[in-house]
A and B are shown apart, each in its own frame.
Chain A
Amino acid sequence: MKIISKVTVLVFCLCAYLTFSSSAAAKIYIDIDAPSFQQFPIAICDLQPPTASTEKTTESGIAMADEIKNYLSMTGIFNILNKKSFLEDKDLSMVAAAENIYFPNWAMIGADYLLRGNITKINNEIFVESRLYDVTRGELLFSKKYNSKNNELKKVARMVASDILFTLTGDEGEFNTKIAFVSKNKSDADICTINYDGSEIKNVTNHKSIVIGPRWSPDGRYLAFTSYRDGRPEIYVRDLRNGNDKKMASFEGLNLCGSFSPDGNKLLLTLSKDGNEEIYILEIDTMKLKRISHNYSIDVSPTWSPDGGKIAFVSNRSGSPQIFIMDVDGNNTKRITFEGNYNTSPSWSPRGGRIAYEGLVNGKFQIFSIDEEGNNLLQLTFDNAKNEYPSWSPSGRQIAYSSKINSKNKICIMNANGLNIRVLIERANSSLMPSWSPRFK
């Protein structure tokens, strides 16, 4: 028996050697939108000193592994295995060349993927090498080197996490994104931004007024919003490069801001200058205005489909506020929500297909999503808080929303299926209307 197992190991090692020697960093695309998708089970080993070194695992190696885990868990699609469950002896992992990994030990604990790496610190500069393995196939997926002159552990960890995500999903995820939101203190509000990892809360505007509905331009340079700074609701566009505000609409009556078109050339508005609250398209360069809704009722909160062909909006034309879809020319208007009598704040998934919104159920606002045909309704939040203003992440895998209960004002991020809720920010001030930025370069 012993002999057989020895032979097996030998054969395995040989196979593994052959595979690895020929392996280029292969891309794997897994359909993480499939209903059957759970999470990627991944084992992250503490980073080790370089191969030749005789040092033991250093503090920075543990800290780096923890940061990588932290970033991966933000994405909501990784099941990060507890390192206490690792069967492999830590000292053996010192030499992390692929052929020394005994993959069945990792498969045994349920890992589909394995991350190993090394870290060296010279003065204030850190050098990191990380290697991602497919445990099931026994393959090296990538081996990459990183360095940071200022000992920026988090920055390197984010790059490693980003490479893992890209290798497994084919996109960069949301690591390089921000979330804009309205921060309200009593009756004064302004727009703030916060990074995806919860760092760097910045004040963007200083209007100290009623401010609502920030929307990012597709290039991430501008934020459009509604503000009462000059005493009444007008639409502004803030250039984030120089901090200048430009007034975009200041018609008689209501001027409310909707979303940018996917090409960034147009802005959706709600105006009441013609009497009723109607939806308009403003061509930004020419300031040409085109009215696209014609109805006696309230038409508000327009948002563009990612292909630019359609607009979702809220209307009370059938009595209560409901979500509708129409073509960009205003034709083929169709109601898509029929459950509940108060459905507002539509947000179109960047991948298309689904629209998230807030709806009133048993006296509480909750987040829902529904497909463009009005089918496959999903309730995503269920707690006792007031859950409002959903906004999709660029990958379409996550949704940010505001969640208020008693004096706790949170902005949360959840997976598009409602699982893996993470609190991005919690404060005493109202934190409302989160809007997810595009990816920054």
Chain B
Amino acid sequence: MKRLNLIIGLILVIAVGAYTGCDNKQVIQSDSSATGSINQQAASPSDTKIENNAINSIYFDYNKYALRASDKKILKENAGYFLKNKKSAILIEGHCDERGSDAYNMALGDKRAKEAMKYLVSLGVNKKQIKTISYGKNRPLDNGHNEEAWAKNRRNNFVVTIE
């Protein structure tokens, strides 16, 4: 009986070792957590989140998905990071403010994420590294109902997983 316990214990140790051994993923997000983001879905609990200065979110005008000049500047900086970390997997999340129908905002978020993707690809980032997802108006950063909150919510968040 004791032996059996020992064996089970040994197997467990090996299993845990193997698990942690392959889990050195790092996930960084461009949305700052200080603003009370509820968008934690992309990061699994075992992922380590590191302090992020390298990647920044971009913001959009109301009901628009065209990139602002200031956004393009940020995207260039982000692209610089992605080009240095070629093994990183990039998820671009398109988000909208709370106004308008759910379905239309889903499409709007999809457009926003794709606009950023196209621009990154034009800067040389490998398209295979990038995935997009729209959350429409369902994952606001700021739950306020005013222009200040809306402006923060009309954004692309970049979730980068580095192996």
Contact = CB atoms under 8 A, between A and B. Distances in A.
Contact of A212 (B103, B132, B139): B103
Interface in B36-59: 38, 41
Contact of B104 (A187, A210, A298): A298
Contacts of B110: 253-254, 272, 277
A433 B100 contact: no
A204 to B, nearest CB: 18
Nearest to A257: B103
A210 B103 contact: no
B103 A270 contact: yes
Contacts of A320: 63
A298 B114 CA distance: 12
A358 B106 contact: no
Q: Which of B99, B100, B102 has the most CB of A within 10 A?
A: B102
A187 B101 contact: no
Interface string B124-141: 000000001111101100
Contacts of B132: 253
A369 B99 CA distance: 20
A364 B116 CA distance: 31
Nearest to A272: B110
Contacts of A345: 101, 103-104
Interface size, A (range): 20 to 34
Interface residues of B, number: 22
Nearest to B139: A187
Contacts of B106: 212, 226, 233, 254, 256, 300
B89 interface: no
Contacts of B103: 212-213, 256, 270, 300-301, 314, 344-345
A298 B107 contact: yes
A432 B100 contact: no
A35 interface: no
B111 A298 contact: yes
Contacts of A233: 106, 133-134
B108 interface: yes
Interface in A404-434: 432-433
Given A272-B110, A320-B63, A254 B104 contact: no
A166 interface: no
Given A275-B114, A301-B101, A389-B101, A342 B107 contact: no
Interface of A: 186-187, 210, 212-213, 226, 228, 231-233, 253-254, 256, 270, 272, 275, 277, 298-301, 314, 320-321, 342, 344-345, 358, 360, 365, 388-389, 432-433
Q: Which 10 A-B pairs have the closest CB atoms?
A: A344-B101, A277-B107, A298-B107, A300-B107, A212-B102, A254-B110, A210-B138, A301-B103, A345-B101, A344-B104
14 contacts: A213-B102, A228-B135, A233-B106, A233-B133, A233-B134, A277-B107, A298-B111, A299-B107, A300-B106, A301-B103, A314-B104, A321-B100, A360-B99, A433-B102
